[in-house]
Chain A
Amino acid sequence: MKYEVTIGLETHVELATNSKIFCACGGHSSANEPNDCVCPACSGMPGMLPVMNKSVVELAVTAGLMLNCDINRYTTFDKKNYYYPDLPCAYQITQLFNPICVNGKVQVKTNSGVSEIGIKQIHMEEDAGKLVHDEWTDTSLVDFNRTSVPLIEIVTHPDFHSAEEVVAYLEMLKSMFRFGNISECEEGAMRCDVNISVRPEGATELGVRAEIKNMSSLASIERAIKYETARHIDALERNTEVLVQETRRWDDTKGRTFAMRNKETEADYRYFPDPNLMPIVIDDEWLNEIKAKMPVSAEEKAKEYADAGISDKEIEMLTAERNLCDILDEVVALGCSAKEVAAWILTDCAGILRKNALLLSDLHIAPEKLAKIIKMVNDCKINRGAGKRVLGAVIENDVDPEKYCKDNGLDVQVDQGFIEGVVDRAIENNPAAVSDYKGGKVKAFQALLGACMKELRGAGDPTVIKALLEQKLNK
């Protein structure tokens, strides 16, 4: 018999804000050690009140617009009650009754075609802390750095029918959110709960549902879905077990899921509206402001770059990293050509980073400095080789390009007259090479060119020098 698997996802995404959702603490990524980014508010001390971080609302709305959602103009927060040591107040502030975004949809492309996934809702909430088990003393320690870090939870309809679709959807979210500066989406910043059921093809009722909790790697999610599908089919076909609605946990090392709790022992979270947070009203003016600030999507960016003459291969590399696009755009705005800047970034910057065992995603360079270097090369103030040296110094030590040229003698005045003098001197001081060249030894030209370059110490455009030298020798 053929079976159909039905999957719905709940995806938690950590938002890239400067501070936590209800207090001024920095995000946990800035923490050096446990309980570094903690204040009385996010550690649950009595007397502190939550104060809403406006940029959380704006990022959530932006994410909702990206996923074609309706934005709820009146949105409220609720408290979800449960005891766990990593939850300092023993309640989580989340949205149950009036989530910020509803009724969205996205298209997901896989090898087997395009499918539409319905987004039921997106809501804002705070993250919990982390428990660290100390094997030595056999105690559990609590780290509140992650407590109150803002999250959005994206809930889909049960519209997925394969692990491939799920992975494609999550990859799409990841690149969309990274590119839109919604979330860094790094390891652990995107976590998924997978609701899965299996039924014989053509059946009208959905099968018994299992929820696999809290997975963060795409590989694990794929394996867990495949494992669960097989487990359900085994149960249906060979009665290996009686399926019950339950929550399960994926064990990556064992490669299987384990039951955590079933419907009877399910917790009652006793949700109720949080009286400490006023309802948020998103009026037209605010919504339009958010819309105006909507980041361009990677697709739009790619089209823009193609029009500017950048190659497909380069576009692919550039649009993989929002940071690169930002640098490129700013350098272009300072008067350089897009095509040229792309080459500087993808060839020269990449090479320097590689030497330092870094990736393009690690590129930090002031656009003004890159623009300066490109202009100095274009204006023949330095040659390309020297430009690369300056670039290395800028990336590694953030030096001032002009000052660096001066300090290292790269700023030789290289107008036509100066170069002519250098070429003349090279011919004058190397009579042997000149006569060798005139006698047909082509290699002697390289010696003369080298003499020019030596005196110019890397300044000047080699093609110009070459042409001048040739012209004078052949006179």
Chain B
Amino acid sequence: MSYYVTEIDTKGNIAVDDTLLVKDVLSTAGSHILEGFAPLFSAEVVERVQKAGYTVSGKANVGEFGLDLVGEFSNKAATKDGSLVGAAAQLVAEGSVKAALGVDLNGAPRRAAALSKVNFIKPTYGTVSRYGVIPCACSGEQVGVYAANIADLKQVLSVISGHDDKDGTSLQHDSYDYDTDLEVKGTKVCIIKELLSSADDSVKASVSAYAEKLRKCGVVVEEVSFDMVNAAQTAWQILMAAETCNNLSRYDGVKFGYRTPNYNNIDELYVNTRTEGLNFLTKATIIYGSDVLSKGRYNDCYDKSLRVRRLVVEQIKKLLGDFDAILTPVCSKAEYKPYDIAEAFTKVFDESRYTAIANLTGIPALVSGGVQLMGSYFDESLILSLAKCVERVSE
């Protein structure tokens, strides 16, 4: 089985998730509904890595539209154990490519990186252009980088970040300097208790081991309580579903991608194309998103989630005022184990507990050594420096 949906260059040194557009190359976001879709332009991040001299090796398989956090709702099983957990992460882990670009909208790349023992960074929202990302949850999705070590991660991140006119949410800085050699001695890192307690023992152990290594670097590590974990998770689930419902409505069989052969009128064209073209998880997300936006539910669900988002941002800023970074698990289990479909469906929600805060608030999140470090807005340098220090201690 191949990790690639489409392989472009066998000598390529950078893989990109299938949710990123590469000009003239089939781009399906892992979905049957985008069958045969070859875009007219490349994503800005793809252009930037190409301009910097990297060669794109191919489109790495993803769960449909990147929504599948646990990797059980595949259209094309791609990885060696038949799961979809991070084809791009596994390519990096095996050393087939130097780095990979992934789209993080609910933490799937972070989870894949943790399970494949590689690094992944989801940078601050607005620092990397989303032009050419097959859109799902625009307000929280960001392009990030997978790499085997922090130095490579930093190198590729510097290439893809910086202002882009083609993205209205792109921030005005032309470029960002990431310093991985900041003095970490004396910095303070907190572990969120609520995220630790829901993980199993192996995960707890790896978080403690990581904390121990941080302490060896002279970092102060403390456990704290953050009482907005559940609220953040639910709010992001609602916003993500609503935006997904909206963004995926363009796949209607009229213009491109899959069109059902079974229709007699326009309504049947819409319904049958989408029924046949999307998988169960995506359809469930769309129905959920449609519900939270409906007249009777908008105020209690969607609008309230926007308010919760603002509160979580305030609280996380406060926490990151007291501490320099946050240390948490990325998922509840340290090793990949397949779920059966019914279990997987609830797990997609349950597991987002660890990743939702970064998508909801837009703060940077780095997965390294199987754990997650989150930092203040634009403070990628500090979490990268912490991870680099731990990398050195581990050697």
Chain A positions within 8 Å of B, measured between CB atoms, are 40, 43-52, 79, 81, 83, 85, 88-91, 142, 268, 270-273, 275-278
Contact A90 B249 (CB under 8 A): yes
Expressed in whole angstroms, the minimum distance between the Cβ of A52 and any Cβ of chain B is: 6
Expressed in whole angstroms, the minimum distance between the Cβ of B381 and any Cβ of chain A is: 26
Contact A90 B290 (CB under 8 A): no
Does B132 touch A at the CB level, under 8 Å? yes
Other-chain residue from A49, A83, A272, A277 in contact with B131 (beta carbon distance below 8 A): A49
Contact A52 B168 (CB under 8 A): yes
In terms of DSSP, what is the predominant structure of the interface of chain B?
loop
Other-chain residue from B39, B166, B254 in contact with A45 (beta carbon distance below 8 A): B39
A85 to B266, CA, bound (A): 8
A97 to B255, CA, bound (A): 31
Does B130 touch A at the CB level, under 8 Å? yes
* A275 surroundings in chain B (CB, below 8 A): 138-139, 169, 243
Other-chain residue from B39, B133, B134 in contact with A40 (beta carbon distance below 8 A): B39
Instruction: Look across to chain B and name the residue whose beta carbon is closest to the beta carbon of A82.
Output: B249
Contact B294 A270 (CB under 8 A): yes
Contact A47 B132 (CB under 8 A): yes
Contact B41 A276 (CB under 8 A): no
* A91 surroundings in chain B (CB, below 8 A): 246, 249
Instruction: Look across to chain A and name the residue whose beta carbon is closest to the beta carbon of B256.
Output: A45
Contact A49 B249 (CB under 8 A): no
Contact B168 A272 (CB under 8 A): no
A50 to B249, CA, bound (A): 17
Expressed in whole angstroms, the minimum distance between the Cβ of A46 and any Cβ of chain B is: 4
Does B298 touch A at the CB level, under 8 Å? yes
A40 to B23, CA, bound (A): 12
Mark each residue of chain B from 124 to 149: 1 if its CB lies under 8 Å from any CB of chain A, else 0: 00000011111100110000000000
Contact A47 B133 (CB under 8 A): yes
Other-chain residue from A45, A90, A268, A276 in contact with B252 (beta carbon distance below 8 A): A90
Does B293 touch A at the CB level, under 8 Å? yes
Instruction: Look across to chain B and name the residue whose beta carbon is closest to the beta carbon of A40.
Output: B40
Q: Which 7 A-B pairs have the closest CB atoms?
A: A275-B139, A90-B249, A270-B293, A47-B132, A46-B134, A275-B138, A89-B250
A83 to B167, CA, bound (A): 25
A276 to B165, CA, bound (A): 13
A47 to B165, CA, bound (A): 14
Instruction: Look across to chain B and name the residue whose beta carbon is closest to the beta carbon of A276.
Output: B138
Interface residues of B in 233-278 (CB under 8 A from A): 242-243, 245-247, 249-250, 252, 254-256, 266, 270
Does B302 touch A at the CB level, under 8 Å? yes
Q: List 21 A-B contacts (CB under 8 A).
A: A44-B250, A45-B40, A46-B21, A46-B29, A47-B41, A47-B135, A49-B169, A51-B166, A51-B168, A79-B246, A81-B246, A88-B254, A142-B255, A270-B246, A270-B290, A270-B293, A272-B293, A272-B302, A275-B138, A275-B243, A278-B168
* A83 surroundings in chain B (CB, below 8 A): 249, 252, 270
Other-chain residue from B139, B165, B254, B295 in contact with A51 (beta carbon distance below 8 A): B165
* Given A40-B40, A272-B298, 16 more pairs with CB closer than 8 A: A44-B255, A45-B39, A45-B40, A45-B255, A47-B134, A51-B168, A81-B245, A85-B254, A89-B249, A90-B249, A270-B245, A270-B290, A272-B242, A273-B306, A275-B139, A276-B138
Does B159 touch A at the CB level, under 8 Å? no
Instruction: Look across to chain A and name the residue whose beta carbon is closest to the beta carbon of B131.
Output: A49
* A276 surroundings in chain B (CB, below 8 A): 138, 168-169
Chain B interface residue bracket vs A: 35 or more
Chain B positions within 8 Å of A, measured between CB atoms, are 21, 29, 34, 37, 39-41, 43, 130-135, 138-139, 165-169, 242-243, 245-247, 249-250, 252, 254-256, 266, 270, 290, 293-295, 298, 302, 306
Other-chain residue from A43, A268, A272, A277 in contact with B246 (beta carbon distance below 8 A): A272
Expressed in whole angstroms, the minimum distance between the Cβ of A97 and any Cβ of chain B is: 10
Contact A49 B167 (CB under 8 A): yes
A-B contact count (CB 8 A): 92
* A50 surroundings in chain B (CB, below 8 A): 168
A271 to B134, CA, bound (A): 21
Expressed in whole angstroms, the minimum distance between the Cβ of B34 and any Cβ of chain A is: 8
A89 to B302, CA, bound (A): 21
* A270 surroundings in chain B (CB, below 8 A): 245-246, 290, 293-295, 298
* B130 surroundings in chain A (CB, below 8 A): 49
* B249 surroundings in chain A (CB, below 8 A): 81, 83, 89-91
Instruction: Look across to chain B and name the residue whose beta carbon is closest to the beta carbon of A275.
Output: B139
A48 to B254, CA, bound (A): 18
A40 to B249, CA, bound (A): 16
Instruction: Look across to chain A and name the residue whose beta carbon is closest to the beta carbon of B21.
Output: A47
Contact B250 A88 (CB under 8 A): yes
* A48 surroundings in chain B (CB, below 8 A): 131
Contact A47 B43 (CB under 8 A): yes
A91 to B270, CA, bound (A): 14
Instruction: Look across to chain A and name the residue whose beta carbon is closest to the beta carbon of B249.
Output: A90
A88 to B250, CA, bound (A): 6
Expressed in whole angstroms, the minimum distance between the Cβ of B187 and any Cβ of chain A is: 33
* A271 surroundings in chain B (CB, below 8 A): 293, 298
* B167 surroundings in chain A (CB, below 8 A): 49, 51
A311 to B165, CA, bound (A): 52
A49 to B21, CA, bound (A): 13
Other-chain residue from B39, B139, B294 in contact with A47 (beta carbon distance below 8 A): B39
Instruction: Look across to chain A and name the residue whose beta carbon is closest to the beta carbon of B242.
Output: A272
Instruction: Look across to chain A and name the residue whose beta carbon is closest to the beta carbon of B138.
Output: A275
* B266 surroundings in chain A (CB, below 8 A): 85
Known: A83-B249, A270-B293, A272-B302. A46 touches B135 (CB 8 A): yes
* B306 surroundings in chain A (CB, below 8 A): 273
* A81 surroundings in chain B (CB, below 8 A): 245-246, 249, 293
Expressed in whole angstroms, the minimum distance between the Cβ of A401 and any Cβ of chain B is: 44
A60 to B350, CA, bound (A): 46
* B39 surroundings in chain A (CB, below 8 A): 40, 45-47
Other-chain residue from A49, A90, A268, A273 in contact with B250 (beta carbon distance below 8 A): A90
Expressed in whole angstroms, the minimum distance between the Cβ of A24 and any Cβ of chain B is: 10
* B133 surroundings in chain A (CB, below 8 A): 47
Instruction: Look across to chain B and name the residue whose beta carbon is closest to the beta carbon of A266.
Output: B295
Expressed in whole angstroms, the minimum distance between the Cβ of B64 and any Cβ of chain A is: 13
Expressed in whole angstroms, the minimum distance between the Cβ of A281 and any Cβ of chain B is: 14
A276 to B132, CA, bound (A): 13
* A278 surroundings in chain B (CB, below 8 A): 168-169
A268 to B130, CA, bound (A): 29
Contact B295 A268 (CB under 8 A): yes
Instruction: Look across to chain A and name the residue whose beta carbon is closest to the beta carbon of B257.
Output: A46
* A277 surroundings in chain B (CB, below 8 A): 168
A275 to B360, CA, bound (A): 12
* B21 surroundings in chain A (CB, below 8 A): 46-47
* B165 surroundings in chain A (CB, below 8 A): 51
A270 to B244, CA, bound (A): 13
* A40 surroundings in chain B (CB, below 8 A): 39-41
Expressed in whole angstroms, the minimum distance between the Cβ of B385 and any Cβ of chain A is: 31
A49 to B290, CA, bound (A): 22
Expressed in whole angstroms, the minimum distance between the Cβ of B85 and any Cβ of chain A is: 24
Expressed in whole angstroms, the minimum distance between the Cβ of B265 and any Cβ of chain A is: 11
Expressed in whole angstroms, the minimum distance between the Cβ of B235 and any Cβ of chain A is: 14
Expressed in whole angstroms, the minimum distance between the Cβ of A186 and any Cβ of chain B is: 29
Chain A CB count within 10 A is highest, among B134, B138, B245, B250, for: B250
Expressed in whole angstroms, the minimum distance between the Cβ of A429 and any Cβ of chain B is: 76
A276 to B170, CA, bound (A): 10
